[in-house]
Amino acid sequence: ELLARSEPNEAYVAANTSGSYAVYFPAGGEVNLDLTAAQFPLIDYSNHFNSGEDGAKKEIAAGGGVTLSPSSADNWAVAIAPR
Give residue-wise pLDDT tens across range 61-77. Answer: 888 889 999 888 889 99
Residue 6 is predicted with a pLDDT of 84
The strands making up 42-48's β-sheet, listed across from edge to edge, are: 12-15, 21-25, 76-82, 42-48, 58-60
Residue 25 has pLDDT above 90, yes or no: yes
Q: What is the pLDDT of residue 30?
A: 94
Question: Does this model's pTM top 0.85?
Answer: yes
- Which tens digit of pLDDT belongs to each residue from 34-58? 998 888 888 888 888 888 888 878 8
